[in-house]
Structures are given as structure tokens and as C-alpha cells.
Amino acid sequence: MKISERLKTISKYIIPNSITADIGTDHGYLIKYLLDENKIKKGFACDLNKKPLAYAERNLSEYINSGKAELRLGSGLRPLKKEDNIQCVVIAGMGGKLMAEILEDSKDYLQNLTRIILAPNVNWERVREYVTNNGWKIIDEDLVLEDNKFYPVIIFEKGESKKLTKGELFFGPLLIQKKHSLLDKFIEFEKNKLLKNISRMEKSKNPETKAAIEKQLENWEEMSRCFNES
Ligand SMILES: C[S@@+](CC[C@H](N)C(=O)[O-])C[C@H]1O[C@@H](n2cnc3c(N)ncnc32)[C@H](O)[C@@H]1O
């Protein structure tokens, strides 16, 4: 099965031969790929909505029949049980704020896990901040460029994290440390986004605009300090 570069990158970080749950699985593509490639022992395809789970059911039918895949309907990690013996949880394709809410909602359940893999599509700084402040540390990171959008892939395991700076929260401490091949492109992309936003703001006649622009520039300055320190 052909899957997106983003999902393929995520698959590289799954604990080999583990029992893995994909939260917000949609069509179940990640779990199907992991099982097709013999990368996991068993997969749980979980979604809040019935329609995506129906697609997942169709795509995973063979594995469901053989007991290698299960579908679970519900929000976040709520439909998972301790007895499922899940070691690895993936949440991808949602915003960082929602991911942090999902994890907060299942704080106790998280203690059963070995690894959490998150691939947010926006607000990744929120998720880095939440997870590293709650007993997990980043053990690896990757970055994917797909359809002109950047997606960080962040891998967490239990442990104490150092306090991350604003720049590290946004750009990724390990992406910076290992000088990821896409990092310069990512920085340029975000800088252009900021400049476009500022030029749009400058056209408005709102008296508060000047202060808002200054704040955005200060924020960028502060974030950029992480490159001088690395
Ligand atoms: C954009 S899709 C992402 C699909 C896949 N994970 C990916 O990265 O390509 C988001 C999926 O998350 C599901 N979803 C949204 N909120 C959720 C929640 N609180 N718990 C579980 N699934 C949720 C949606 O129904 C949808 O199928």
C-alpha cells in the first residue's frame, strides 16, 4: 500500500514488534501499513467518529479477522484499556492544542505506555511544552515537508526534560541539535509567513497594529536565539 511520506516517517519511530494505537486513525492507513510491513504485533485503530472508523474497518478487515487489528470508537485514548497492553501511541494530523487536551484527558493511562509519537499539523510548540512539562522527554524528532506544509514528528519517552526555550518549543530541540536537513527551509518558510502577516497588518489602519507587529518581531527575535546558542 502506498502511504504519505508523513505517515511513512512516523512509521520509522514505532517500537518494533509492539502493540500500537493510532488515535484519530481516519482510514486506518498507518495501522495497515505497519501491519503490512510486519512492523508491529497488533494495532488499535481509534477514532472519535463512526465514518472514519468504517473506512478503517474496510481497509483493515483482513487484520481484524485475524485478531491483529482492533477498531475503537471514542475520544482520544479513552477507548483503550490497560489490558490492551499498548506500548506505543501515535497521534497525527491534528493541532497541538487538541493533542495536549487528549493527553491531559488520559493522564493516568499514559503511565502504561513506553512511547508517544506526535505529528501535529499546527501549534506544535503547545504539544512540546505540554508533554515535556508532564513527565516525558523528547528522545528524537523528524521533520516532513508535504504539499508545501511542514510537519514535525516528535517522539517522547518517560523521563525528565530540561525546560525548553521558546525557540526550541517551536523549531524542535533535536531538529536544531541534529541540524535536520529541512530545518533551514522550515525557518525560511516560517519567516516568510511572519513577514507576509506583518505586511498585511501594516495595511490596516488599526492604531494597535504597530504594537502588535513589534510584539511579533520580538517573538521571532526571541525564538531565533536558539540558533545562535546551538
Ligand atoms: C485529519 S484526520 C488525521 C488522520 C491521520 N491520523 C493522519 O495523520 O493522516 C483527523 C482524524 O482525527 C479524528 N479525531 C478528531 N478528534 C478526535 C478525538 N478527540 N479523538 C479521536 N479521534 C479524533 C477525526 O475523526 C479524523 O478522523
Name the nearest CA neighbour of 57 among 70, 68, 43, 40.
70
For the chain, the structural domain boundaries read 5-163
Q: 181-202: per-residue pLDDT in tens?
A: 999 999 999 999 999 988 888 8
Let me know: does 28 contact 60? Beta carbons within 8 Å.
yes
Q: Which helix (H) or strand (E) is 46 found in, with range?
A: strand 40-47
- Pocket probe mutation, ligand 1, options 48, 53, 71, max atoms within 8 Å of Cβ: 48
pTM, two decimals, is: 0.95
How far, in Å, from the CA of 137 to the mean position of ligand 1? 24
Q: Which residues line ligand 1 (CB under 6 A)?
A: 23-26, 47-49, 52, 75-76, 92-94, 102
Instruction: State which ligand 1 atom lies nearest to the alpha carbon of 25.
Output: 6
Q: 27-62: per-residue pLDDT in tens?
A: 999 999 999 999 999 999 999 999 999 999 999 999
Report residue 184 as a C-alpha cell: 533551514
Question: Domain spanning 5-163 has what CATH number?
Answer: 3.40.50.150
Let me know: does 95 contact 121? Beta carbons within 8 Å.
yes
Name the nearest CA neighbour of 170 among 191, 156, 148.
191
